[in-house]
Structures are given as structure tokens and as C-alpha cells.
Amino acid sequence: MSIVRIKELVATLNEANRAYYQEDREIISNLEYDNLYDELVRLEKETGVRLAGSPTRKVGYEVVSNLKKSPHDVPMLSLDKTKEPEALSAFLGEYNGLLSWKLDGLTVVLKYDDGELQQALTRGNGYIGEDITHNARVFRNVPLTVPYKGKFDLRGEAVISIADFEDINELEENKYKNPRNLCSGAVRQLNSETAAKRRVLFFAFSLKTDEVFEKKSEQLAWLDAQGFEIAEYEIVTAKNVAQAVAKFKEKITAASVMSDGLVLTYDDIAYSESLGSTSKFPRDSVAFKWADEIAETTLIKVEWGTSRTGLINPVAIFEPVEIEGTQVSRASLHNVSILRGLGLCEGDRISVYKANMIIPQVAENLSRSDAYENILIPSNCPVCNGETEIRQSSPDDPETLYCTNPSCDAQQVRALAHFVSRDALNIGGLSEQTLEKLIGGGMITDFGDLFSLAKFENEIKKMEGFGQKSYDNLINSIETAKDVELPNFIYALGIRHVGLANAKLLCKFFKHDAQEITEACKNESYMETLSEIKGFGEAISHSLHVYFSQEKNFNLFSRTLEILRIKTPAESAGEKPLDGLTFVITGDVTQFKNRKELQTYIENAGGRVTNSVTAKTSFLINNDAHSSSSKNKKAAQLGVPVITEADLCDKIE
């Protein structure tokens, strides 16, 4: 039960962190959070299990120069396939079997020794895989430490949930067709920070160890006790395997991750090992593939929808048809390349199916009139009527359509969401959904309008999810947000390359005088002035110049500045101990709650924190001075001193 409780605590605490840091809302009190956190720390110590997604883990991202190749101890063969439930009964004969999901992701091998994750490999060509250990360490549910101290290997599937796929794909420039493609790209990234943002999960399904087990089901129970997530399975016989297949099929629409079928394997380990394999397939397992239900229908039209990133996606609208028990009338075509590849024309007969029985897809254009020019790729955005353009990052990437108007309502939502975020104006009660409604209702067109929402009291209280109390909370939050420091306001503007740290440096240089800042940024000799700010190069300076030189931006900034009550940060007397010094933080922190707290400590002492080690870096902070991390190597190359947290505190005190 301790392992189950650890997973519950990790999920609860991470959800609380997400709500607090990303959505500006509290779902549990600070006291309750601290109690749950302490309980998690205690259980991790007692069990020896610590998950990669645990909030007790200080994440240090790693970048590798390339993915090294490594041979598999045992070849990873493909599975023979069938679409007939009767064939599964014949396969089992008199033996019991394990029937489980065939998850649609990327097969990964994890190797453990002395209670710690040592290596992770992709399937590769079945004989040689790619080393993705740096990425496996940031999978959301992979145990980094386990109570068992011996050696063991396990196989499993790296996947991205359907909900996470939809959220992430909304922000991707090049749309991924399905969660598997997104997961495959995430798992094989050179930078583990990218993999972490993709929210990869891992589900175990087989084990290789010197420990003695008679049944594979016993191995799975053992893996569960070590802290691993196990792919859902049922123990079946020849008599009931067909009924078990039907049960799994009923669960598909409610499943959180994609599957492309089921896997059946013998439960008896000795019998499985006695069967050996062919040159292509192991003889102890077989894959059951869902028979895609394909329906014919007629294409009515293609609609185009603009996302929050400005990406415009084509969607096929067709005569309703029933597939897998539900009516379907639309399917995403993903991008311009797929639209052209299908050669679609209004009125064409098309075949449609549900990929993995969930996501509607256009399988084929049966008419093939090749008159797809009749479906015009819009030259104007369907939301704002602004001009569009087709972009292609490289010859191998798909062609995608974009709206070029930065004031497009669809893109405004994203800009406004940034403006009200925690490190900006910190206005609670304004989710992206609420902002969409306010824009759609004509109540706001830019961030300056947020401060006059009170005149739309009746309209806001009639919005779904709003009443008198929620309206009052929103207005009070906006009023409170007027008391803001200038760096937070400048950060809220969303100027390219100007994060909160750079906004603080800019304000400090001009002694928090907004007029001096705008005059310097608008001036034709802006580069000469702004380059005097430590860390400001051409990219940052040019972005500031472009932003404030545009009359619309400058007027909006000035108008909003008159509404706000700019607070001047309290500066301690005299020179600060870290004035003029630039720091990079890497590795685990011990004396501070997290890196953010350490960064604030440095900035309050006059220092600056950046992400990359360069010749301008004064110190790299890493409690492990002998670490082989890329930042330590870079510091050694450039002669940048590596210090610990304790060393830093000594400098300040």
C-alpha cells in the first residue's frame, strides 16, 4: 500500500503545483501541502522508491551531443499478429495467458542496478537501441530508485496521454498526427528538458532478472511493488479470452492513452522460454489488432480553424456516418501537405475510420478527382481576416498555414494569458477560456481593456461559470493587480527575448523610470545605449526597439501605465554584494527550496541569473563540483569557477 500511497501523493502534489504555479489558484492549503509533502518524503525513505515525477526531486536537465547506440542483451523481436479472437483461443490451448493493452507508443528497455536506474534504450532495430537515459530520468512516473538492489531489466512502453497530446499539440508549430509520433520525438530528444515538457509516461510489461519467478503475473506484481506503473492486464484461458477482448474493447473510448490492440502471452515462464522464437517473432506472444471499421461518406467541405499560435488547421466536414458505435461528421486533416496528398474536392466520396478506435481520420479519397484546387487554401485568416502564409521549416517537414496578424483574436488569447500570468500582472480568475469569452463578447481587444471590465458587469455575470461572487473576485483581483512593479509590467508585455530577469535589468539600469526606458528604446541609437546593460545583446535590444517604436504598442503601454500604480522596489542602501556578477545554476539545490528561490536570493543581492554558461558567466553554482554535466564541462573550458550554495552564501554574508 505504501507504493500506492506514494503515487497518490505525487499526483496530488503535482496537481496542486500545477494549479498554483500555472493557473494562479489554490486547491489545497499551504498546511495541507506541507503535510502531504512530508508524508511523501517519509514514504520515499521507507520504501526506497522515488518517482521521476516526484516533487521531492530537484530536476536537473541534461543535454547530450548525440544519441549513442548500445546493443540489447536479448533481441527485441516484433510480434506475430491476428485480428481474429478465435485465433487467440487456439494460441492458448490448455495454458493460462496474460492479455494486456498493446500501448501505442515507443518500446523502451530500462536497466537497474544497486537500486538505481542505470540505462534506458529504445527498441531501435531490435538488436541495437539508442541510449535515452537522460530522457528516461524525466519520464513522469519512472522510479529513479527502487528498493531491490540487484540487477534487472524491464521492457515497457513510453507513451503520452491523449489529454496531454491534445494540450501539447495545440502549441506545436508542426502538428503531430497522433500521440505516438509526439512521444517518439520526445523520447529521442537530445535535450531532456524538451522530453520533460512532453509529459512522457512509462508502462512496464515484462521483466528479466535473476530472481526466480514461475509466472509472468508474479513478475508484474513484483514490478508494481518496486514502484512501476503496469500495463493493465487480465489472466485468461482459451475459454474466456474472447470475452476479455470484448471487455477491453468497451474500455477504449474511456482510455487515457492510445492503444493499437492487445498482446497475449503465456503466463508460465518456463513454458514460454521453452518455445524459443522464429527469425522474426517470439513464439510465446501474439498481438491482437483491432479490425478498423471503415465507412464511406461524402465530403461536404473543408473548414479552417485558427489556433492560439496562429496555426490554421484544415478540418474535413462530411455527411454523418456511424463508426464504432458513435456518429462522426468531422476529422482533422492536420496540415496543408495532408490535404494536398489526399487530393480532396467538395463532393468527393471518402473513406473514414477511427485511428485506434478513437480519433476520426480520413483514410482515402475514393473519387480521386485530383481537383483539390477547388478547395482553396485561404489567403485570409477565418478569425481576423488577416493575411495568411504557408510555412515549411525544412523540405522534410509538412507545409502549414499561418495567420500573420499578431492582433488576431486567436493569438490575442495567448498574449493576454501571458499578461495576467503569475510573474506578470498576476490577475486571478482569467483563464484562457474566460479570456476567449471576453474577447468574443467584444469586452476586451487588448490588455488595457482589462482595467475597465467593470462597465460590463451584467454581461460578465451572465457568462457561464460566473455569478456575483466570481465577478466580484475578478474585479478585486484586477484592482489589486494595479499595484505592480515596473519589471513585472514590462515582462507582461510579452516582448520577444525579454523575460522577467531581463526586465529587471532594464529597469534597474534606468532607475525604474518608464519614460527613460521608452525614450532609450525608441531612439535610433538604441543599440549604443542598451548594450551598456550587462547581458543585453543585439537580439534583446532590437526586440525592445521594435516593440516601442510601433505607435500602437507605445500608446497602449503609456495608456496602461497611467492606470497602474507602479511600485518602486525597496533597494537596500549601498552597493549590493553580487552587483555586476552573473550566475548559472545547475544540479540539485539543498539549502533552498528550489532553484527559483535561489535565483531570487541572488537577484536580491544584486546578481543576475542566466541559463547558459558563457565567457560572461561569473560563477556556475553546482553542489557537485565533479559533475560531468554539460554545464560543468563548459565552465571548465571557459575557466568559469564552480561554487556551491554554501560558497555563494559566504560571499553574501
Helix (H, G, I), strand (E, B) or coil at 308: coil
Rounded to an integer, what distance in angstroms lies between the CA atom of residue 641 and that of residue 617? 9
316 in Cβ contact with 344 (< 8 Å): yes
Grid coordinates given for 119: 540505462
Write the secondary structure of 545-575 as one string of H (helix), E (strand) and C (coil). Answer: HHHHHCHHHHHHHHHHHHHCEEECCCCCCCC
Pairing of strands 152-159, 233-236: unpaired
Decide if 102 is catalytic.
yes
Write the secondary structure of 489-526 as one string of H (helix), E (strand) and C (coil). Answer: HHHHCCCCCCCHHHHHHHHHHCCCCHHHHHHHHHCCCH
Give the largest Cα separation in the chain, rounded: 85
Rounded to an integer, what distance in angstroms lies between the CA atom of residue 631 and that of residue 613? 6
Dihedral angle, C-alpha 610, 614, 618, 623, nearest 10 °:
70
Give the single-character DSSP code of 437.
Answer: H
377 in Cβ contact with 281 (< 8 Å): no
Helix (H, G, I), strand (E, B) or coil at 610: strand
Query: Using CA of residue 632, residue 634, residue 636, residue 641, what is the dihedral sign?
Result: negative
Beta bridge partners of 304: 314
Rounded to an integer, what distance in angstroms lies between the CA atom of residue 421 and that of residue 24? 7
Catalytic residue among 7, 58, 102, 633: 102
Grid coordinates given for 214: 514461475
Rounded to an integer, what distance in angstroms lies between the CA atom of residue 580 and that of residue 33? 37
Cα distances (angstroms) measured from residue 208 to each of 78, 155, 202: 18, 8, 17
Question: How many other C-beta atoms lie within 10 A of the C-beta of residue 226?
Answer: 21
> At which residue does the C-alpha cell 469586452 appear?
443
The kind and range of the H/E element at 117 are strand 116-122
Q: Which amino acid is at 170?
A: E
Rounded to an integer, what distance in angstroms lies between the CA atom of residue 267 and that of residue 94? 12
Query: Using CA of residue 277, residue 282, residue 283, residue 284, what is the dihedral sign?
Result: positive
263 in Cβ contact with 99 (< 8 Å): yes
Give the single-character DSSP code of 452.
Answer: G
Nearest to 166 by CA among 204, 138, 199: 199
Residues labelled catalytic? 102
